[in-house]
Amino acid sequence: MEKPQSQDVNPNTRVQLKALVGGTAPMTIKWFKDNKELHSGAARSVWKDDTSTSLELFAAKATDSGTYICQLSNDVGTATSKATLFVKGLVSTSPHFLACLDFLAWGGPGRGTLKTAVLPSDLFLKIFNITILFPSLEPPQFIKKPSPVLVLRNGQSTTFECQITGTPKIRVSWYLDGNEITAIQKHGISFIDGLATFQISGARVENSGTYVCEARNDAGTASCSIELKVKGS
């Protein structure tokens, strides 16, 4: 399988993720995002034939950011490939709200009228010497990753460790061949002080596959993958 390419795009951009596939027919091809299968609809198109497949977003939005997984399967087995899409936020040079200022308009001795003036936010801030501090946003970034390919013998154990940075708070999920792993205690899944861990104890052949660690926050999404092969005794 020729993998789809990760992309950084502007809002409302037409995006196409494409993969070349091969294998013995019949083959089943599926696309996933956030563990949900994607189908053609008003906002996207899913296309596939015997040699290639593509996912097209007609006008990308910020909520389309994330990790997309293409899954190919037949009677022999399953293969997956992933690509990350980041849709950039709208650029603004200053806060875009308006400030309302109530004041008493002088109308002569004993007379006054309460009126409201609407000022552009930057002018309002200058007049009253106000500084607004906006929290910095940093999408998740993997500064330490496990080896992309790992081979174990039946019964061996291992721990995947990923060091991740980013602001604000990061949420981490683990996937095996596109399916989210929810057995937290069984696999010792944790994310403490930026370190994400995943344990495999007494590996068996059925534990083989592609493991994906996905990190996300309000600024974006990032992921890394590990191909695990467990050999029988």
Beta bridge partners of 57: 15, 44
Residues 158 and 194 grouped into a single domain = yes
Tens of pLDDT along 19-67? 888 777 788 889 999 888 999 888 889 988 878 889 999 988 888 898 9
Q: What is the pTM of this model?
A: 0.46
Q: Which residue has the tokens 């970034």?
A: 141
In DSSP terms, which residues pair with 218 in a beta bridge? Answer: none
What is the side-by-side order of every strand in the sheet holding 138-144?
138-144, 158-167, 195-200, 190-192
Structure tokens at 224: 């890394």
User: What's the Rg (C-alpha) of the chain?
Assistant: 25
pLDDT of 9 reads 87
Residues 147 and 231 in one domain: yes
Q: Which domain holds residue 197?
A: 136-233
At 70, list the tokens.
């293409």
SS3 62: helix
DSSP string, 181-192: ---TTTTT-EEE
Residue 20 lies in a domain: yes
Half-sphere exposure of 191 (CA within 13 A, CB side): 16
Say what the pLDDT of residue 104 is: 44
CA-CA distance, 23 to 77, in Å (whole number)? 10
Same domain (yes/no): 16, 107: no
Greater confidence, 152 or 28? 152
Q: What is the pLDDT of residue 24?
A: 78
Q: If DSSP codes are grouped into helix, strand and coil, which group holds residue 208?
A: coil
Closest CA to 1 of 85, 84, 82: 82
Edge to edge, the sheet with strand 52-57 lists 15-20, 52-57, 44-48
Cβ atoms < 10 Å from Cβ of 46: 16
Q: Rounded to the nearest 5 degrees, what angle is found at the Cα of 73, between the Cα atoms of 184 and 183?
A: 5
Pair 227, 175 in one domain: yes
| 116 within a domain of the structure (yes/no) | yes
The domain tally of the chain equals: 3
Q: What whole-number distance in Å separates Cα of residue 89 and Cα of residue 61? A: 9
In a domain, 93, yes or no: no
151 and 232 together in one domain: yes
Of residues 93 and 175, the one with the higher pLDDT is: 175
